[in-house]
């Protein structure tokens, strides 16, 4: 698995040519377009996309967290090789309600 922080759009083809099994991509603020990336890679490669750990999940409301998660999942819905994730380091004071909202939005989306 490769994880690249920042805008990795210019590296997608090279990363997939390396024989990687999964790509862990940075949050939307880094201009990584998940839909374009999904169109470029084989369905055999797992894509993981961060929700920014210091963004909405840290400072937003539960409703905004759910909106962000559902928006991302709607955009990537046609692609079955995607795993939702939070960035690798949640701040210590991230509200537990927001983490629960993240998990709940993901589970509810999958179930519907």
Residue 88 neighbours by CB distance under 10 Å: 10
pLDDT value for 28: 76
- Give the domain range for residue 75: 2-111
pLDDT value for 43: 92
Please tell me the pTM assigned to this model. 0.86
Please state the domain count of the chain. Answer: 1
The C-alpha torsion from 86 through 6 and 77 to 75, rounded to 10°, is 110
pLDDT string in tens for the chain (112-residue length): 988 888 999 999 999 999 999 999 887 788 888 888 999 999 999 999 778 889 999 999 999 999 999 999 998 899 999 998 887 788 999 999 999 999 999 999 988 7
């Amino acid at each position: 698995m490769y994880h690249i922080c920042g805008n990795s759009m210019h590296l997608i083809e090279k990363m997939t040519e390396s024989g990687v099994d999964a790509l862990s991509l940075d949050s939307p603020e880094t201009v990584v377009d998940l839909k374009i990336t999904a169109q470029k890679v084989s369905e055999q490669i797992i894509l993981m996309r961060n929700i920014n750990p210091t963004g909405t999940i840290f400072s937003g409301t539960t409703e905004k967290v759910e909106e962000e998660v559902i928006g991302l999942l709607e955009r990537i819905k046609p692609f079955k090789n995607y795993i939702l994730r939070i960035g690798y380091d949640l701040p210590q004071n991230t509200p537990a309600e927001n983490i629960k909202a993240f998990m709940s939005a993901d589970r509810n989306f999958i179930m519907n």
